[in-house]
Amino acid sequence: AFESELGVQAPVGFWDPAGLSSDGSVENFKRRRATELKHGRIAMLATMGYITPEITGKFPGYLSPSAGLKFADVPNGLAAISKVPQAGWGQILLYMAYCEASQTQEPGTAAYAGDFGWKVLTSSDPAEKTKKLNAELANGRLAMMAIIGMFFQDGLTGSAWGDWANYTASPLRAFESELGVQDPVGFWDPVGFTSDGDVASFKRRRSVELKHGRISMMATMGHWT
């Protein structure tokens, strides 16, 4: 029912592993699409907000003259949360409320579909417009993953860029000099099998990995030859 909607792109196609749209409800689909679009746009801004100060530097002058707080005094990333004065957070929340309440976003309205009248990267060509709308969804999805990754790395390392050298408490450091640790990935254990730091378990898994790798190499050559 939704395979022709925006955001259905190769190579994944229509991707709904949780089956949220399995009931075929158009109303629920449109509500989730509006939410996805809004979150994607916020995530794109947040991602750029993380990266830009690292590249271009910060504004000159004071963020809060009354508190004697300069823009340069505010660190990047999560550490900035505790540095911004309460009045500053109040202004941010008021602006967010204005953005939400300034236009009607009820089902069936243009704003509900993500059209707030600000059209910079649009096109009069239907095919080109569809391409750009698909790109917005794809970039928003990527940005949502990116900003969560940035938060995670920042929380562990204290660095907006996620410098893992700062994460001295990582149990993975016990195996960073082992065979198989290669650029650009480095020590890769996304499931956390080695998080307990158990050397015996690591060596057992390494022997199993090596054996399975050798068998797979022979099987692959046997298939081709």
Handedness of CA 121, 125, 126, 130 (dihedral sign): negative
Handedness of CA 89, 92, 97, 100 (dihedral sign): negative
> How large a percentage of the chain has pLDDT more than 70?
94
Alpha-helix residue ranges (DSSP H) falling in 57-117: 86-101
Phi, psi of 62, deg, nearest 5:
-105, 135
Looking at domain 1-169, its CATH architecture is: Orthogonal Bundle (1.10)
Which residue has tokens 């600000």? 118
Phi, psi of 160, deg, nearest 5:
-60, -25
Handedness of CA 148, 151, 156, 161 (dihedral sign): positive
Position 61 pLDDT exceeds 90 = yes
Record the pTM: 0.69
Indicate the pLDDT class of residue 164, thresholds 50, 70 and 90.
low
Q: Which residues are annotated as a binding site?
A: 15, 21, 36, 39, 41, 100, 136, 139, 141, 153
| Cα distances (Å, whole numbers) of residue 5 to 13, 43, 137, 201 | 10, 22, 11, 48
Q: Which residues are annotated as a binding site for chlorophyll b?
A: 41, 100
Indicate the pLDDT class of residue 51, thresholds 50, 70 and 90.
confident
Which residue has tokens 């158009």? 26
Q: Which residues are annotated as a binding site for chlorophyll a?
A: 15, 21, 36, 39, 136, 139, 141, 153
Tell which residue, 183, 201, 179, has the closest CA to residue 192.
Answer: 201
Q: State mean pLDDT over 154-169.
A: 72
Contacts 24+ apart (CB under 8 A), 100-106: 105/34
| Cα distances (Å, whole numbers) of residue 191 to 151, 178, 195 | 19, 18, 9
Q: Is 212 helix (H, G, I), strand (E, B) or coil?
A: helix
Q: State mean pLDDT over 60-80.
A: 90
